[in-house]
Amino acid sequence: MEISITRFILAVAVTQVIHFVLIGLLYMNPLVAGWYKSFEKHPSMKNWESQGKFMMNMFFLTLVEIIFIGIVYVSTVQALPNYFWMKGIVFGLLVAGVRVYPRFLSMYMQTTYPGKLLAVEFVNGTIGCIIIGLGFSYFF
């Protein structure tokens, strides 16, 4: 399968924006935001002086990650199921298996990060990976 660089850049850009907005909604909903607020003084939590700086860092660091995930996607797309939803979900779960689970396990074992927030990170991280998988599945 030949991949156009223009289509790849478009796929990365669209997937990044959709991922950023949907993950923002998952983390900023009143329930989850309240949990994070209740732990803001916890020693494992970093205090960002500027919400804007935090959001810009997250946007661009996630963009780099999505570019790498996109490279893996186009390299493996032929091994995935043909149906759009299945292709995106299967790829998203595979990415979650190498991106979310090891980080969750490491944080659980080596930090004092609150368990409730670890669960949020695990669930939202997995959902985010599926969003990314579906984004690339739409384009390829």
pLDDT in tens, 55-80: 999 999 999 999 999 999 999 999 99
* pLDDT band at residue 2 using 50, 70 and 90 as cut-offs: confident
pLDDT higher than threshold 80 for residue 1 = no
pLDDT at 77: 95
The model carries a pTM of: 0.93
Cα distances (angstroms) measured from residue 102 to each of 5, 10, 41, 75? 31, 29, 26, 22
> What is the Cα–Cα distance from 91 to 137, expressed in whole angstroms?
9
Amino acid 64 reads V
Q: What is the pLDDT of residues 98-138, one digit of tens each?
A: 999 999 999 999 999 999 999 999 999 999 999 999 999 99
